[in-house]
Structures are given as C-alpha cells and as structure tokens.
Structure 1
Amino acid sequence: MSVRERVSEHRRRMREAGFRSIQVWVPDTRAKNFAAEAHRQSAMAADAATHSDDQEWIEAVSVSWDDE
C-alpha cells in the first residue's frame, strides 16, 4: 500500500469517526527572528503587572458571564 493510499484510508476512517481535517498556521520556530520576537513578547507580558490601567479598563467594560 502506498503512502497516498494509507493517508487516504486514514482520513476516511477519521471522517467516519466524526472528525474533520483542518489546516492550522503556527509560528515557525526555526525562523531567524522567532527567538527575538518571543523574548520581546514575554518581556512585555512580564512588564504588564506594572501597567494595570489596561486590565482595569478591560474589567470595567467586560460583562460577567456568571450573572447571565
């Protein structure tokens, strides 16, 4: 059985089991700028605790789902 046939058979079985195939795009961890961008974003997240105005605003305008 060829690779194409095995893949086709696997996909058929998955569809019969109620699954569907999707394609997901994710960041390429091999890209030359990935580490620098990950570091930049994590530094911003770590620094977020010192800038609470944004979170306070989000909480003020948010609807509590527990009340519904």
Structure 2
Amino acid sequence: MTVKHRVSEYRRRMRARGLRPVQIWVPDVRSERFAQEAERQAALVARADEQSDDQEFVEAVTTPWDEE
C-alpha cells in the first residue's frame, strides 16, 4: 500500500466519522525574526509602567465582583 493510498484511506475514515481536515499556520518560534520580535514586544511591555498611567485608570474605574 502506497503512502498516498494510506493517507487517502485515513482521510476517508475520518470524514466518515464526521470530521474534516483543517490546516493551521502558526509563527515559527525557532526563527531569528520571531525571537527579535518577541524581544522587542517584551521590552515594550517592561517599559509600559514608565510610559503611562493606564493601569491606575483601569483600577479607578473597576468595580470588584463582590460589590456589584
């Protein structure tokens, strides 16, 4: 039995069970480009407290769950 035939049979069985194939593309976390972008974003997050008082605003307008 060839690989093509085995794959075809497997897909037929899965479709018979009500499933369908889905292809998902995700970032390659092993690439240098990904590592550079992750480092850039991490640095932005680390400096976020220095750049604005957004968290203070969020806390000021937030109502604790048990007080509603």
The interval holding the TM-score normalised by the smaller chain is: 0.5 to 0.7
Please list every run of 5 or more consecutive structure 1 residues that lacks an aligned counterpart in the other structure: 61-68
Percent of pairs identical after alignment?
A: 51
Q: TM-score, normalised by structure 1?
A: 0.57
- Number of aligned residue pairs: 57
Matches within 5 A, 1:43-58: 43-46=43-46, 50=49, 53=54, 56=58
Q: TM-score, normalised by structure 2?
A: 0.57
The structure having more radius of gyration, on CA atoms, is 2
Q: Once the 2 structures are TM-superposed, how far is the Cα of residue 19 of structure 1 from its aligned partner?
A: 1.1
Task: Sort the Cα spacing of 1:2 and 1:40 in 2 relative to 1 into closer, same or farther, 3 A.
Answer: same
- Please provide the CA RMSD for this pair: 2.8
Runs of 4+ in 1 over 4 A off after TM superposition: 45-48
Q: Work out the CA distance in 2 between the residues paired with 1:30 and 1:7.
A: 28
